[in-house]
Structure 1
Amino acid sequence: MTPLSHIRNFSIVAHIDHGKSTLADRLIQSTHTVADRDMKEQMLDSMDIERERGITIKAQTVRINYTAKDGEEYVLNLIDTPGHVDFAYEVSRSMRAVEGSLLVVDSTQGVEAQTLANVYHAIEADHEIVPVLNKIDLPAADCDRVAEQIEDVIGIDATEAIQVSAKTGIGIEDTLEAIVTKLPAPTGDRDAPLKAMLVDSWYDSYLGVIVLVRIMDGVLKKGERVRMLSNNSTHHVDRIGVFRPQMTEIDELGPGELGFLTASIKQVRDTRVGDTITHEKKGTTDALPGFKPAQPVVFCGLFPVDAAEFEDLRDSIEKLALNDASFSFEMETSAALGFGFRCGFLGLLHLEVIRDRIEREYNIDLITTAPSVIYDIHMKDGTVTQLHNPADMPDMTLVDHLQEPRIKATILVPDEYLGDVLKLCQDRRGIQEDLTYAGSRAMVVYDLPLNEVVFDFYDRLKSVTKGYASFDYQMIGYRQDALVKMSILVNDEPVDALSTMVHRDRAEARGRAMVEKLKDLIPRHMFKIPIQAAIGGKVIARETLSAMRKDVTAKCYGGDATRKKKLLEKQKAGKKKMRQFGKVDIPQEAFISALKMDS
C-alpha cells in the first residue's frame, strides 16, 4: 500500500502535435513500465483512427512506478489528454481527477491557441503547472524566446522550465524528478466513508462497462456493493485494477489513487461522468461537484446510401453512443433521403471521427447532410422553441425573432497574415473584440456566429495563413440576428436536405451559387427542370436545366410546314404532361457537393 505522500496524479496538456503522446511514451519507457519489446509509438492511442490521424481522441491513463534520486518509491498516475478543441470536454474532466499538469510547449513553435485553452482548464481546476519545452533537438528550437512567451501570454513562471526532447529521450529523468518534487501529493482520508469520482466509462464486449474512478476518500475493495449517487443504482464490484497500460487487477484502491472497476453494468448511460460512487451501506450522501454534461453544438443528419442498411446503422450508432457520452442522436425522416438519424456533435472533427468510425468499423456507406447549429426561435405568443433542423422551421408569420449561438474565437497568427485573417472574420459577420501581440505573432479575439464557423471556417483559415494560424473557441451565448430559411426547389418540389439558415444580406449570393452548382450536378431529364432558391414565397435565384429532346420531325421531308408544326406541338404537350408527373432523380453526390460552398 502506497502512502499518500508518495502518490502523484498529473495530466499532460498541450496544443495539437506538440508531443504529449510521445512524452507519455518516453515516461512509460524510461520507468520500464512496459517491456521494451512491447513498446510501440503512441502507446496510449489505441483506436485505429487515433493512430492514423496522429491525434488523441480519448484521454488515456497509465500507472507508473518510479524510484526517485533519494531512493524513495513513488506511484505516478498519468492521464494523456487530447489537444484538439472538439475534445476539450475530455481535457476538462481529466483535470478534475488529478492535482497537477505538465504543460508541454513546442520550443520551435511557441504558445498556440489550444495551449492557452488547455492551460485555462488546468488553472480552473486549481492545478500546479510545470512547463516543459519539447523538441529541443530540432535546429529551429529557441527555448529562451518560448519561455518568455509562456510568461507573457499565460503568466506562469517559466525560468525553470524543463527542456526535453521526447523523441530522443533528453531530459526525461529531469521531468520525472520535477513531477515528484514540484507537483503536490493528493489529499484524502482512508477512514472516511467511500467517495470516488467517476472520471470516464466505456464499453467492453467481455466485461460490460469499465469505469475509470479516482478515489477521494475511503477504500474500495473487490466484492463490495457500491451505489451511484446520481441515479441511486447499486452494483456488485467484480474486479478492481489499474492500467499499466494493460489492465492489471489489484485487491483495493485507496485515497488518491486512480483505477478502474467493473460491476456487470450493461449500459454506459447508467454511468454518468462526474458522478460520485460510494458504498451501498454507510456511504456518503454529499456528492462531489459533477462536470457539466457536454453540450452538442453541431447537428447533422446521417443517412444510409442504401435504405436497406437502416437497421445496421441504428445498431452501429447505438454501439458508438455506448462509448461516447458526448454524442447524441434521434431518428428523422427526409423526403429525399429516406430514414436516418439526426446526430449532435461537439464540432466538425468530432463529426468526421464518428462518421469515419461508422463507415470503417461497421461497413456502412453514409450521406451526411449540411451541418447546422441550434437556433432559438422566439414566437409571437412568448414561447421559445429550439430549431435543430432548418427543414422544421415554423411559419414565419408566427415567429417574432430568431437567435443564433455566438462563440468567442481566439486566433494566433503570424504578423504577415493578419490582414487576411481579419478579412475572413469580417466576411463571416465577426465582431472584433481584441488584438494584442506576443512577440511577432498577433492574438486576435473575435465574436463570431457559430453557423459561419461550423462549415469550412477552419479550412479557410488554414489556407489563408498557409497553415500557420491556430484557432480555439468557446460558446458565449445567443444573440438576435436577421436570419432566414432558404429552401431549394427542384421542379417546384422543396428538397429538405438542402435547406439552410442564412443571413438575409447574404441570402441572394448564397442562393445563386447553390442553384448554379446544382445545375451542373443534376443529370438532364426528358423534360426541363427549374431549380430555384426561395425565401418564404419569394424566389431569389433560378436556373433551368434544359430537356433532352428527340428530333420528331426527322421523318418529314418536304411537304407542308403544318405537318412539322403538328408533331412539335404534340411533343410539347407530352413534355408538359411529363413535367407534371415526372420525378427528378438527384444523385447522392449532389447533396454533399452543393453544400461545400467556397465563399
Structure 2
Amino acid sequence: MRPKWNLFFNCIKFRIKYKHKLVPVFYQSKRNRSDSLDVNFAEIPIERIRNFSIIAHVDHGKSTLADRLLELTGTIKKGQNQILDKLQVERERGITVKAQTASLLYKYNGDNYLLNLIDTPGHVDFSNEVSRSLSACQGVILLVDANDGVQAQTVANFYLAFVNNLVVIPVLNKIDLKNADPARVCNQLQTLFEINPNDVLKISAKLGIGIEDVLESIVTRIPCPSVDQTLPLRALIFDCMYDRYRGALNLIYVQDGSISIKDSITTFHNKKEYEVKTLSVLRPGEVPVDKLVAGQIGLLGCNMRSTKEAHIGDTIHHSNTPIEPLKGFRPSRPMVFAGIYPMDQSQHLHLRSAIDKLTLNDSAVTVDLDTSPALGQGWRLGFLGLLHLEVFTQRLTQEYGAEPIITAPSVTYKIKLKPTKQNVKDGSDIIFVNNPANFPEHVKIEETFEPMIIGTIVTPDRYLGPIMSLCMERRGIQRSANNIDNERVILQYDLPLCEVVLDFHDSLKTISSGYASFDYEDNGYQSSNLVKLAILLNGTLVDELSNIVHITKAKTIGRQMVLKLKDIVPRQMIHIAIQATVNGKIMARENIKAFRKDVTAKLYGGDVTRRMKLLAQQAAGKKKMRMVANISLPRETFIDVLKK
C-alpha cells in the first residue's frame, strides 16, 4: 500500500507546484467540451438561428476563418487548425474538397444564437458542393484575399449566391500581410459586384483580428430561416456520408415541422420507410439530440444500409403524411470521364464496394460498367474536372486501401450519324461518346460536336500577352476583356473542354507565375472536326491507348504517343511496330527492335535451387502479362501510358 500512497502524495505536490499552469488549461478544456453544454437546441427560437456558408477562391483562408469562428464561440480548443478539413487528402493538399458543417453557439445581447456554419470548397471542380451547401443557407460570407484580390472563383461563387437570393457579407482576409491593399480590393468589389466599401469587413483570420465583427454581422445581417414548425415534416437531404457500423448518414436541413427519435419517416424518391435511430448536431463532432426542428441542420441515422437508398436532394417526410417535395438540385453534369480498373481482378469486389461507398459521399460522380480486353472488368466514371478525378482516386487509396488503374481522361462528344432507315425511325442518329473504343467508323459519321465552355481568367495585365497566346493555342475565341482596376484584367474565352481539362490550369499558373486564376462554366456543344487517333501494335488496335482528338492536333499527339510507347514498351523477342493512325492513314510510327539471341542464356551445372528460383520468377512475370497482338505487355506498361 505504501507505494500507492507515495504516488498519490507526489501527484498532490505536482499539482500544487504547477497549479498556475494546470488550472487554466483544465478550465478551458472543460468550457469548450461539446458534451458539457447544457443547451436544448430544439428550444432555440427560429429568430435566433442563422444558417450561412463561407465561399471564396482557393487559398483565401476559408478553413482558417472557420477555425477562428469555432474558437471564439468556445466550440473547440484554441490552437487547433483545419478542424473542418477532416479528410487526409484535404490536409495533404491544403485545400477543401468536401463541404463540412458545424453548429456554433454565440451569445449576443444576452441571448444564445445557433449559427450553422457550412465550410465549402473553393476549386471550380467542387462547385457542386458549393451549390448544394447554399440550398440550406440564408446568407454567405464572401471571403477575399486582401493581397490577391478578386479571383475567378470569387466571381463564380458570388453570382451563385446572388442567384439564390442570399445575403452576402463581404470580408477581406489577410490584412496583416505586408503587401495587403484593402482599398484596392474594396474598389474591385465595388466595380464587379456593386458592394459598398463601407460594408466590407477587414480581418486577419490567422491572427484573430476582426473575428468578433464577423460573428456580429452574421447575427445582424443574415435573416433567420423562413420556415414553419407547425407544418408536417419536410427535410432536405443535402449531403451524405458512410459509416461502416451505421450505414448511410444523411445531413439534413429541416424546412418544416420537426423530427424526433423513433419517428417513422419516408423518403420521397424511393418511397422506403425508415425508423429514426439517431439524431445529432455537429459541433463539429456529433452531439446527440432527441429532436430537430424547422430551421436546423443535423445528422440523421435511420438504418440506410444500402448506399443506393440515399439520394442527395431528396425530401424526407413522416410516413402516411403526404407532402409536396422540396426543390432539389439540378443534377451536376460530369465533364471528364476516365476508366477505373482493379490492379488485379481478384480485387474487383473490394474496389466495387469502395466506389459505392465513396460515391455516396460524392454524389457528383457517375458510374457505369466498362470492360477492357487488356485490363479486365472495370467502370467508366464521370467527374467534374481533373482535380476531382485525382482527389477521388486518392481517397479510394487512403480511405479504402484500393489500388485502381486509371485510364486517360476524356470528355463526352456528340456525334450525328449518317441517316439510315433504322436510326431515323428510332431517333438514334445522335449518340454521345466518352470512350474512344465506342467511337464509330468515320464512314458512318455525318458530323461531330465537342463540348465547349466559357472560361473566365483574372490576371495582372503584365501577363496578358502570354495568356492570350495560350488561349489561342488551345483553339479559344475571345469573348470579352475588361479592366477590374489599373492592374488586373478579367478575360472571357470560348474554349473546347478537351483543351482545358488536362493541363490548361497548370500552364496558366506557370506563365503567370501563379497570379492568374481560372474558372469555367458549360456552354453546350459546337460542331468540330473530330477523329479517332488509333494506336496499333504490330497492326492490332489497342483501344485502351486510343484517343479522340481534333484533326489539327492528330499528328502532334500521335507523335508524342508513339515516342512515349517506344520508351515504355519492353523489348521482345520479335520486332514491334508502333503506329498512330487516323482513318487508316498513318500519322506517326516507331519501331522497337527484337532481342538478339543470348548465347549465354543456357546454364550448365549449378544447383537445383537456383534453377527453381528462376522458374518461379519467370512464372510470376508471366502471370502479370497480357497478350496484345502477338506481344506480351505487362500491365505496368498500360499504367505508365495511361497516367499521361
Note whether the superposition's TM-score is higher than 0.5.
Answer: yes
| Paired position in structure 2 for 1:318 | 356
> Distance between the aligned counterparts of 2:449 and 2:115, measured in 1?
48
Cα drift, residue 305 of structure 1:
3.2
What is the letter of the counterpart of residue 70 of structure 2?
I
Match of 2:555? 508
Among residues 504, 508, 513, which one is paired with 1:461 in the alignment? Answer: 508
Q: 1:34 maps to which residue?
A: 76
Aligned residue number for residue 434 of structure 1: 480
Alpha-carbon distance between aligned partners in 2 of 1:311 and 1:191, rounded to the nearest angstrom: 47
Decide whether aligned partners of structure 1 residues 546 and 180 sit closer, same or farther in structure 2, where only a CA change above 3 A counts: same
* Higher alpha-carbon deviation: 493-502 or 304-313: 304-313
Q: 1:460 is aligned with what amino acid? A: S
Q: Distance in 2 between matches of 1:67 and 1:410?
A: 41
Corresponding residue number in structure 2 for 1:61 = 101
Write out aligned runs for 1:43-62 (5 A).
43-62=83-102
1:172-571 to structure 2, matched below 5 A, reads 172-284=211-323, 286-381=324-419, 382=424, 383-439=429-485, 440-550=487-597
Q: For residues 491-513 of structure 1, what are the alpha-carbon distances to aligned partners after superposition, in whole Å with 9 as ceiling and x for unaligned?
A: 11111111101111221222122
Comparing 188-197 with 170-179, greater Cα deviation is found at 188-197
Separation (CA, whole Å) in 2 of partners of 1:362 and 1:191: 43
Identity %: 46
Q: Give the distance between the partners of 2:263 and 2:597, measured in 1 at CA.
A: 82
Cα distance in 1 for residues equivalent to 2:594 and 2:253: 68
Residues of 2 paired with 1:147 and 1:268: CA distance?
46
Instruction: Output one character per residue of 1:314-366: Cα deviation in whole Å (capped at 9) or x when no partner.
Output: 23222222322122222322223233222111111111011112223343433
| Equivalent of 1:24 in 66, 87, 93 | 66
Alpha-carbon shift at residue 240 of structure 1 (Å): 1.7
Q: What's the CA shift for 1:410?
A: 0.5
Aligned to 1:565: none
Separation (CA, whole Å) in 1 of partners of 2:342 and 2:555? 32
Runs of 5+ consecutive residues of structure 1 not aligned to the other structure? 553-579
8 Å CA contact 1:369–1:497 kept in 2: the answer is yes
Distance 2:97 2:530 in 1: 34
Range with greater deviation from structure 2 (198-207 or 322-331): 322-331
Q: CA deviation at 1:112?
A: 0.5
Between the aligned partners of 2:471 and 2:61, the Cα distance in structure 1 is 30
Q: Which amino acid in structure 2 is aligned with residue 463 of structure 1? A: T
Q: Does 1:119 align with 2:155?
A: no
Call closer, same or farther: CA 1:151–1:593 in 2, change over 3 Å: farther
Q: What secondary structure sits across from 1:185 in the alignment?
A: coil
Corresponding letter in the other structure for 2:380: R
Check whether the contact 1:367–1:588 (CA below 8 A) recurs between aligned residues: no
- Partner of residue 28, structure 2: none
Distance in 1, Cα, partners of 2:399 & 2:133: 27
User: What do residues 156-210 of structure 1 show as CA deviations (whole Å, max 9, x unaligned)?
Assistant: 2232211111111110111111111111111212211222211111111122221
Residue 416 of structure 1 aligns with an amino acid whose one-letter code is R
Q: Give the conservation status (yes or no) of the 8 Å contact 2:310–2:360.
A: no
- The residue that corresponds to 1:560 in the other structure is none
Provide the C-alpha distance between the structure 2 equivalents of 1:588 and 1:119, rounded to a whole number of angstroms. Answer: 46
Q: Deviations over 1:545-580 (max 9, x none)?
A: 22233499xxxxxxxxxxxxxxxxxxxxxxxxxxx9
CA contact (8 A) 1:267 1:322 kept: no
SS at structure 1 position matched to 2:364: coil
Aligned-residue Cα RMSD (Å) equals: 2.0
Does the residue aligned with 2:340 lie in a helix, a strand or coil? strand
Corresponding position of 1:13: 55
- The aligned residue for residue 156 of structure 1 is 195
Query: Does residue 1:138 correspond to 2:185, yes or no?
Result: no
Instruction: Say whether the 8 Å CA contact 1:268–1:323 is kept in structure 2.
Output: no
Match 2:142 to one of 97, 103, 106:
103
Whole-angstrom CA distance in 2 between matches of 1:161 and 1:206: 46
In structure 2, distance between residues paired with 1:322 and 1:442: 40
The structural deviation recorded for 1:521 is 2.2
Task: For residues 401-430 of structure 1, give each alpha carbon's deviation from its aligned partner in whole angstroms, at most 9, with x where no partner exists.
Answer: 111111111011111211111111111111
Q: 1:587 to 1:412 in 2, by over 3 A?
A: farther
Question: How far apart, CA to CA, are the structure 1 residues paired with 2:440 and 2:412?
Answer: 14
Whether the 8 Å contact between 1:194 and 1:283 is mirrored in structure 2 is no
Unaligned runs of 5+ in 2: 1-42, 600-626
Q: Structure 1 pair 539/4, CA: closer, same or farther in 2 (3 Å)?
A: same
Instruction: Provide, for residues 239-282 of structure 1, a one-character-per-residue CA deviation record: whole Å limited to 9, x for no partner.
Output: 22211111111122222111121111113332222222121133
Provide the C-alpha distance between the structure 2 equivalents of 1:154 and 1:452, rounded to a whole number of angstroms: 30
Q: Secondary structure at the match of 1:425?
A: helix
Contact 2:67 2:83 (C-alpha < 8 Å) held by counterparts: yes
Number of residue pairs matched?
A: 566
Contact 1:135–1:167, Cα closer than 8 Å, also in 2:
yes
Confirm or deny: 8 A CA contact 1:131 1:158 kept in the other structure: no
- Does the aligned pair in 1 maintain the 2:406–2:642 contact within 8 Å? no
Alignment deviations for residues 489-537 of structure 1 (CA, whole Å, 9 cap, x no partner): 0111111111101111221222122212222222222322211111122
Seen in structure 2, the aligned counterparts of structure 1 residues 151 and 587 have a Cα distance that, compared at 3 Å, is farther
Counterpart CA distance in 1 for 2:508 and 2:639 is 21
Residue pair 1:55, 1:82 contacting (<8 A) in 2 also: yes
1:431–1:446 contact (8 Å) kept in structure 2: yes
Q: Which amino acid aligns with 2:130?
A: V
Using the alignment, how far apart are the partners of 1:214 and 1:398 within structure 2? 51
- Aligned mates of 2:543, 2:167 — CA distance in 1: 52
Offset at residue 479 of structure 1 (A): 1.2
Please name the residue that 2:29 is paired with: none
AA partner of residue 173 (structure 1) = E
Q: Give, as a single letter, the amino acid of the residue that structure 2 aligns with 1:353.
A: V
TM-fit CA distance, 1:595:
5.8
Partners of 1:392 and 1:275 lie apart in 2 by 34
